[in-house]
Amino acid sequence: MAALTKPFKDVDESHHTYNFYLLQKDELKNAHIKQINLTEFVNKIFESKHFELFKNLFKNVKDDFLYKSDKHGKMHNFRVSLFAVYISDELKLSEEDTKLVLYAAMYHDIGRRNDLEDLSHGALGANLIDKLRLPIKSDDLKILKCVIAAHSLSDLNYQDVEQKYCIQEKKRCRQIYQILKDADALDRVRLGQPYIKRDYLRTNIAEHLILTAYQLENNFNLIYNEIME
């Protein structure tokens, strides 16, 4: 069984997220929310029954469709996918649903035209999904489009998007949407204001990964090389 072979470096004062990291560490400690450290997180990814699925999908991602950006490009998608695998495993999703979550994680920003806040990029991305020619059935394709279209909007808009795409399996679609939103939110540590609002997360599992997100960002090259070797 694979395991992380090198120790990770905790976030220190030389890193741009350090003050936010300390703030969040204190808040989470006071709230008695246990945090998963980076070694535990990565080793659970290695142990996941969906690990090979994740690696294969990422190795074969359609790069030409991805937005070329340090903030919203391929490496952002990689980190979002890691969080998505972890949360999906904890929620015991099927392989079929985990695959949908991973497709959403890898292609959720293909509608981007800039790195600014852009509420329309989800809908633009959903309109491009057919061009990817992904090997999934038509009902699942509707779910994927719905999730991507909705991810750039407020949760208050989700039901309208769900109706637009005529989603039949509503519970399933909403769960995939929630996982994507949380996985995307956890990777906001890459941004200039990386504070993660715990009350905005939708799954309890994501709350336990807030400090993991800072540690992952601080050790990204190490983790990427270990996982994708």
Secondary structure element (H or E) that encloses residue 53, with its range: helix 51-59
Tally the domains of the chain.
1
Residue 185 lies in a domain: yes
> What b/e string do you get for 178-189 counting C-beta neighbours within 10 Å, with b at 16 or more?
bbbbbbbbbbbb
Residue 134 lies in a domain: yes
Residue 4 lies in a domain: no
Short-list 181, 214, 180, 179, CA closest to 12:
214
Handedness of CA 28, 33, 39, 45 (dihedral sign): negative
d(CA 217, CA 76): 10
pTM above threshold 0.85:
yes
Residue 15 lies in a domain: no
Query: Could you tell me the two tokens for 28?
Result: 């989470």
Query: Could you tell me the two tokens for 94?
Result: 């099927």
The whole domain housing 169 covers: 38-228
Whether 33 has a pLDDT exceeding 80, the answer reads: yes
Residue 202 lies in a domain: yes
Which tens digit of pLDDT belongs to each residue from 57-95? 999 999 999 999 999 999 999 999 999 999 999 999 999
Per-residue CA distances from 51 to 89, 97, 106 (Å): 10, 14, 15
Residue 6, pLDDT score:
87
Q: What is the CATH number of the domain that holds 90?
A: 1.10.3210.10
Which tens digit of pLDDT belongs to each residue from 184-205? 999 999 998 899 999 999 999 9
Residue 204, pLDDT score:
96
Q: Which residue has the tokens 């637009």?
A: 164
Residue 21 lies in a domain: no
Whether 1 has a pLDDT exceeding 70, the answer reads: no
